Amino acid sequence: MGTVVSILLYTLDIYSTLIVIRVLLSWLPSLSRHPLVRLLCDVTDPLLAPLARVIPSVAGVDFSPMALLFLLWGAQELLRMTLLV
């Protein structure tokens, strides 16, 4: 079970990093059509899009990535606690 939890932790860590990269790249709109950026959006949209529909943007700022990061970090902490038990 420890190996499965470790793999899940690693996967959540990678996904969190992808979210941060996507946020940083959103400040560079000229890169929005790059194939790697499109792939990044395709990978992160399944979790970001539902949150973006629920969480309203404030002054044009989308807070769904921050909310998703908090959820992912919370999931990581819960998984870490299962490793300690």
- The three-state secondary structure class of 63 is coil
pLDDT band at 85 (very low <50, low <70, confident <90, very high): low
Q: What is the pLDDT of residue 6?
A: 86
What pLDDT score was predicted for residue 4?
Answer: 86
Residue at 6: amino acid letter: S
Q: What is the pLDDT of residue 83?
A: 77
Per-residue pLDDT tens for 18-50?
999 999 999 998 998 999 999 999 999 999 999
Q: Is 1 helix (H, G, I), strand (E, B) or coil?
A: coil
User: Residue 49, exposed/middle/buried by CB under 10 A (0-12, 13-18, 19+)?
Assistant: exposed
pTM (predicted TM-score): 0.88
Q: What mean pLDDT do residues 15-20 have?
A: 97
Q: How many residues does the chain have?
A: 85
Give the 3-state secondary structure of residue 32.
coil
Under 8 Å between Cβ of 79 and 8: yes
